[in-house]
Structure 1
Amino acid sequence: MRMVSGFTLLLSALLLMMSVFQAGQLAAGGSSFEKGVAAASDVTTEPSFFESLVNFLTNPYVVPILLSIAGLGLLLELFTPGIGFPGGIGLFALILYFYAHTVAGHAGFGTIALLVFGLLLVMVEVVLPGGIIGFFGLAAIFGSIFLAGQDVKTTAIAVLFALIIASVGMVIVVKIFGKRLHLFKRIILNDSTSTESGYVSTVNRPELVGKTAFSLTALRPSGTIELGDERIDVVSEGRFIDAGKNVKIIKVEGSRIVVRELESKEEEI
C-alpha cells in the first residue's frame, strides 16, 4: 500500500509537470499578445486575474512560503505510511512555483525537463533504494528550482528559508505526532530481540568459574559443553579435548569461556 502511494504521487508529479510547461507557454503567449495589442492601441488595461496571480506567486516573499510548503509536504509523504494528503499539498505548492515562473518567463523547457528527470530518479530510488540515485534526483530538483528562480541570490535565500522551515516543521511533527503517524518506520529498525524468540544476549558469567561440565563435542579448541541442562559454547585451554570428557571452567572473559580437561585425580576429588 505504501509503495502504491509513492508511485501515485510521483506519477502524478510527472504528468502535472509535463503539462506545466505547455500551460505556461500558452499563458505567457496570451499575455504577450495582450500587451502587444495594448501597446499598439495605446490603451492601458488592468492586469487579468492570472497575471495578478503570477505576480503574487513570483513575489520574493511568497516564493519561500511555497517552497517551504512543498518541502514539508513531500518530506512528510516520504516518511509516513501513505497518508497522501501532505504529499498532495506539497506537490500542489511545487506546481504553483513552476507554473508561475514559467508564465513569467523565468523557466523554459529545459528547466521543466530537469525537474521531471529529478522526479524520475527519485522514483527509481523509491523502488531500488541505494542513496546515490536519490542524491542525484534531489540535486536535479534543486537545480531546476534555481533555474526557474528570478535570480540566484533571491532563490538561494528562498531555498535556505524553505529548508529551515521544513526541518523545523518535521521536528515539530515528530515530537507531536511521531508515534501516531509511525514516522520514519521505513528507515528505523523496529524489530526487537527477546528470549521468547530464541535470542540470548552475551553477558559476563563469572559464577561459572570452577564448575565442572561434560564435553558434548570435541573441543578443537572450540566446541560445546553441557552444564546441567544448559549447553555452552567454550574453548579449551591449550590442547584439544575429545567429546565425552569431564572439563572444568577455569576462566570467563565476556563471551569467551575457557575450560580444561579434568585429570583423573581431580575427578576423584
Structure 2
Amino acid sequence: MRPWTTTVGLLLLVLGLQQLSPGAGADEAPVASSNQVWLVDLGGALGPATADLIIRSIDDAHNAGAQALILRMDTPGGLDKAMRELVKAILRADLPVITFVAPDGARAASAGTYIAYASHVAAMAPATNLGSSTPVSIGGPTPALPTPSQEGPDADAPTPPPGDAMTRKVVNDAVAYLQGLAELRGRNIEWAEKTVREGANLRASQALEQNVIDLIAGDVDSLLEQIHGREVELSHRTVTLDVAGAQLITVETDWMHELLEIITDPTIAYGLLIFGVYGLILEFYNPGMVFPAVIGLVSLLLGAYGLQMLPVNYAGLALIVVGIAMMVAEVFTPTMGALGFAGVIAFVVGSLILIDTQSPGYDIPLTVVAAFAATSAGFMFFLLAAAVRARHGPVRTGQESMVGEQAEALGDFSGLGRVHVFGEDWKARAEEPVEKGEKVRVVGIDGLTLIVKPED
C-alpha cells in the first residue's frame, strides 16, 4: 500500500469517529410521544466523553418522545469546557432535564452545581451535598464576599479581592455565569455568588430551604412521584410532566463513549502523542520499516484527537516538541550534552504544563512525566553513543570497507584473476591457487586490486 493512501485512510478513520456514534442521528424528527423517562448517570469527573454521552442522550430521548431525562449525579466536578457544553445542551433541550444528586452520600461539587442550577428541576437525595464552585484551575486564594458592614450605599469601597487580575476575571465570570442560571431558573442568586467566591457547600435539607433545589427524593421512584404534574418552562414552551407509571429507560454507555473515555484521558493522550513522535523518528532513522511509521501515525492522530478535546496549554505542547527536537539534534550536532540536557528540561516543563487545569482526574502524574523524560533521555544517549562509536570506529566506506569481506572467484586463477564482492566484479591477486566459484576472503587492497586468499 502506498504511504499517502495509508496516511489519508488513518486520518479519515480518526476524523470520522464522532460521525459513527449512535447519537449522530439526533437531528431526526421526534417520534410520537411515549410514556418514557430516560436515566443517564454522571459518576466521577465530568470530561469530554461523559459530556458527549449526556448531550447525545438528551437529543435521543427527545427523538424517542420521552417525557423527561433524569441526570443522576455523583461528581467532584470536571472540566469547565465540558461543563459549559453540557449546560448549553440543557438550556436548549426540547424536553425537561432533571438533575438528581444521588444516591445517598453523593455530591454535586464544582461543575455539578452549575449543572444543577441549569436544570429544569433540581433534586437531591438525603445525605448529599453540592457547592464548592470556585474555578480551581486558576489556583491561589479566592476572593471573599464583602461583610454586611461593607454593604450599602454609604459603605467604603470594597477592597479588591486577593490575587491577580486574571484570578478576579475568572472568578467574576464564574459568579455571573452561575447567577445568570439562578435567575433563569428562579433559584437562590446570593448563594450562587457565595459558592463561587467562598467555595460554600449545602446539605440537601439546606439546599431545599435556601431555594437552591426543588425537592428531596430518596430514589428515582420517589422523584418521579413528586415531579408528576409539575409545570416546566422550556426554552420556547411550557410542558406539564406526565410521568405517572412511566417506563424508565437507563442509558448504557456505547463503544464511542468508551473510546472517547480512553483517548481523552490526559495521561493516555500524552502517551499516544509521545509514542507517535518517536514512531516517526524511528521510521526516519530506518526508512522502509513501515511498521514504526504506521504505529506512530495512528498514535499521533489519536493523541491529537484526544488533546483537542482537553484544555491544552499550547506553550506546553510546543515545549515538548522543541525538547524532543533538541534531544534528536544532539545526536547530529554533539554539544557535549548541552543541547540534549536543555531538551530534557524543555520536555519535562512542557509535560507538566500541558494540561491547563487542576480539575480532579485531569492532571498528568509526575511519575508518568518522569518515566517519559527518562526514556527520552535514554533514547537520546543511546543514539549519541552509537554516533560516537561510529565516528571513532574503523572506516567502513569505499574500498576499505571490503577488507575482511567474503568474495567469490569468477574463474580459476593463481596470481591475478577476478572476484565478485559487494555486487561488483574486482581484479584480485592470490598467492595460492583459486578455483572458479570458490569463496575467498579479502585481506588487503593494492590500488584497484584486491588481495585475497582462499577460505580455510
- Taking structure 2 as the reference length, the TM-score comes to 0.25
Higher relative contact order (CA 8 A, sep 6+): 1
TM-score by length of 1: 0.38
Identify the structure with the greater strand proportion: 2
